[in-house]
Amino acid sequence: MRRILDAFSTRFSKDAADPVHRAENIGRLQLALVVSFVLFAILVSSLLSSADRTPQLRDDEEFAPLVNSIFVEPETRRIEIIGSGAVKSQVDVQVVPQVQGRVDWLSAVMRPGGSFLKDEVLFRIEPEDFELEVQRRRAEVASARTNLQLEEAEGAAASREWEEITPDEPVPSLVARKPQIRDRRAALASAEAQLASAQLNLDRTNFSLPFNGRIVSSNVELGQFMAAGQSYGTVYSLDGLEVSVPLADKDLKWLQPLTDIEALITTSYLGIDRKIQAKATRVSAQLDAQTRFASVIVSLGENGTAGDAMPLVPGVFVSVTFLGPELSNLIAVPTAAVQENGKIWTVADGRLKSVRPDIVQTGATNSLVRGLPSGTEILLSNIPGAVENMAVRTQPANAPAANLVEAK
pLDDT, one tens digit per residue, over 101-140 is 999 999 999 999 999 999 999 999 999 999 999 999 999 9
% the chain with pLDDT above 90: 32
Whether the CB-CB separation of 60 and 166 falls below 8 Å is answered with no
Terminus-to-terminus CA distance in the chain, angstroms? 84
Would you say residue 58 has pLDDT above 50? Answer: no
CA–CA separation, 241 and 212 (whole Å): 11
H/E stretch holding 37 reads helix 19-50
For residue 158, pLDDT over 70 is answered with yes
| pLDDT tens digit sequence for 200-234 | 999 999 999 999 999 999 999 999 999 999 999 99
- Report the DSSP pairing between strands 225-226 and 213-218: unpaired
Q: Cβ(105)–Cβ(209) under 8 Å?
A: no
Residue 241 gets which letter from DSSP? Answer: E
Of 368, 372, 369, 321, the C-alpha closest to 346 is 372
H/E run at residue 216? strand 213-218
Nearest to residue 165, comparing CAs of 175, 173, 177, 174? 175
- State how far the Cα of 14 lies from the Cα of 25, in Å rounded to an integer: 11
Nearest partner of 247 among 301, 284, 299, 300, judged by Cα: 284
Confidence check: pLDDT of 22 > 80: no
Percent of the chain with pLDDT over 70: 85
Confidence class of residue 406 from pLDDT cuts 50, 70 and 90? very low
Q: What is the pLDDT of residue 62?
A: 52
| pLDDT of the residue at 57 | 44
Q: Do residues 215 and 236 touch, judged by C-beta distance below 8 A?
A: no
**Segment 332-358, tens digit of pLDDT:** 888 887 877 778 888 888 888 888 888
Of 273 and 141, the one with more pLDDT: 141
